[in-house]
Amino acid sequence: MNDNEEFITKSELGTKQFWDQFYDEELTNFNDFGDSGETWFGKRNTRKIIDWMKENHSKNDAICDIGCGNGFVLAQLAQHNFSNLYGLDYSEKAIEFCQKQHNQSNIHFKVVNILDDDFQFNHKFDAIIDKGTYDAICLMPDADIHENRTKYLKFLCDNLGNNGHFIIITCNFTKEEIFKFLSISNNIFNSYMNSTHQRYRLVVMLENRLPD
Ligand SMILES: C[S@@+](CC[C@H](N)C(=O)[O-])C[C@H]1O[C@@H](n2cnc3c(N)ncnc32)[C@H](O)[C@@H]1O
């Protein structure tokens, strides 16, 4: 391994089977005890996203959470009066859990594999949020990580509007690695707006500068 290569181990966290089982258990806990589930990376990081969105977006902007899990980020955005929210996850169990827990008209949940070539919305998003999903995708066993990264970038390029924001929270990559990855595709995310480190968690906000 040379200095430019990342060290990435493969893990069950990169499999759909793991997430289906995880959200199946979360759904059971919610049904039995009203437990709203795990807040991935803690509530502090979710607050950071909400605060930043309040400062940089209007309440009717189209905002998409890719790999939305239990939908907590979107529910928090809705509580702060954001009204045009989309949650995508490839786990049917995750989406079932979201729909059961956050059954409200301002959040649209959908089962979508964001690496699926054929998927495209009929409109662009003003912001795309990723909290832990890119991390999970890069851990996928028996997969071509380069191909998956290309597909992930394609999803962003196809679905993020010009001057839209991409907000990523990761625990597996450094700022430099995230920038290197994002600059592969013609420097779409050349505008680095903000980043903070919090106990191994990196929060990066970037602006898309590609014309539509
Ligand atoms: C670490 S969890 C984070 C969940 C959520 N963002 C949160 O912060 O609680 C990763 C999520 O990404 C979803 N995921 C992984 N690969 C995906 C893909 N290709 N398309 C859509 N969702 C995916 C998983 O089902 C899981 O919900």
For residue range 72-129, list pLDDT tens digits in order: 999 999 999 999 999 999 999 999 999 999 999 999 999 999 999 777 788 999 999 9
Q: Starting from the edge strand earliest in sequence, which strands make up the sheet with 191-198, in order?
A: 107-111, 85-89, 63-66, 125-131, 160-170, 201-207, 191-198
Question: Roughly how many angstroms between the first and final C-alpha of the chain, as a whole number?
Answer: 38
User: Which atom of ligand 1 is least distant from the CA of 46?
Assistant: 8
pLDDT (0 to 100) of residue 23: 97
Measured in Å, residue 84 CA sits from the centre of ligand 1 at 20
Choosing from 130, 133, 155 the residue with most ligand 1 atoms within 8 A of its CB, the one to mutate for a pocket test is 133
User: Which atom of ligand 1 is least distant from the CA of 65?
Assistant: 6
Average pLDDT over the chain, rounded to whole?
Answer: 84
Q: Is the pLDDT of residue 180 over 60?
A: yes
Question: Dihedral, CA atoms, 141, 39, 42, 40, nearest 10 degrees?
Answer: 10
Measured in Å, residue 68 CA sits from the centre of ligand 1 at 6
CATH of span 12-207: 3.40.50.150
Q: Is the pLDDT of residue 210 over 90?
A: no
Measured in Å, residue 89 CA sits from the centre of ligand 1 at 6
Measured in Å, residue 98 CA sits from the centre of ligand 1 at 13
The residue ranges of every structural domain in the chain are 12-207
Calculate what percentage of the chain has a pLDDT beyond 90: 49
User: In the numeric block, which tokens belong to residue 140?
Assistant: 């996928």
Give 190's pLDDT tier (boundaries 50, 70, 90). Answer: very low
Ligand 1 surroundings by CB, under 6 angstroms: 19, 40, 67-70, 72, 88-91, 94, 113-115, 131-133, 136-137
Choosing from 90, 107, 113, 117 the residue with most ligand 1 atoms within 8 A of its CB, the one to mutate for a pocket test is 90
- Residue 88 near residue 68, CB atoms below 8 Å: yes
pLDDT (0 to 100) of residue 199: 44
Over range 6-31, report the average pLDDT. Answer: 90
Give 186's pLDDT tier (boundaries 50, 70, 90). Answer: very low
Q: Is the pLDDT of residue 10 over 50?
A: yes
